[in-house]
Structure 1
Amino acid sequence: MQFPARLLSFLFLMLPLWAQAAALDRIVAVVNNEVITELELNGRVATVTGQLRRQGTPLPPQSQLQRQVLERMITERLQLQTARDQGIRVDDSELDRAVQRIADNNKLSLADMRKAVQSEGVAWNTFREEIRSEIIVTRLREREVDSRVTVSDSEVESFLAADAAAGPGREYLVSHILLRAPEGARPEQWAQLQRRAADISRLAKQGEDFAKLAASFSEAQDAMQGGAFDWRPLERLPALFADVVVRMQPGQVSDPLRSAAGIHFVKLVNVRQATAKAEQIQQTHARHILLRTADGLNDAEARRRLTELRERVVNGGDFAELARNFSSDITSTKGGDLGWLSPGDTVPDFERAMDALRPNEMSPPVQSPFGWHLIQVLERRTIDVTDDRRRARARNALRERKAEEVYEDWLRQLRDRSYVELRLDQPS
Structure 2
Amino acid sequence: MGGRPDRVEGGAAAAHVRRGCAAGAPRVARRRREQVGAPNARTASREDAGSGGSRAPRGGEVGPRDGRLDLHLHQHDHEGIFPMKRWILFGAILCALYSLDARVPAAQASERIAAIVNKQVILSSDVDDRTLEAASRMHVDPGDSVALAKLRTEVLNQMVEKEVLLAEATRQAITVSNADVAQAVDREIDNLKQRLGSEEDYRAALAHEKTTEADLRKRYEPDVRDQLLISRLVGKEVQSKTSVTDVEVRAYFAANRDSIGKKPEALTLAHILLPFEPDSFQLRRARLRADSLRNLIVKGRAFDEVARQFSDDPSARSGGDLGTFVRGAMVPEFEQVAFSLKPMEISPPIRTRYGYHVIQVLEHLAATDSSDERVHARHVMVQAKSTPADEERSRKKALAVRDSLLRGADFAAMARAYSGDSATRDSGGVLGQISVPALPANLREPLAGLRVGEVSVPFKRDAGYHIFKLLAREPESEYKFEEIKDDLRQVVMNKKMEDAYRRWYDRVRKNVNVELKN
**Normalising TM by the smaller chain, what interval?**
0.3 to 0.5
Q: Give the structure with higher Rg (CA).
A: 1
Structure 1 length-normalised TM: 0.45
Q: Which has the higher helix share?
A: 1
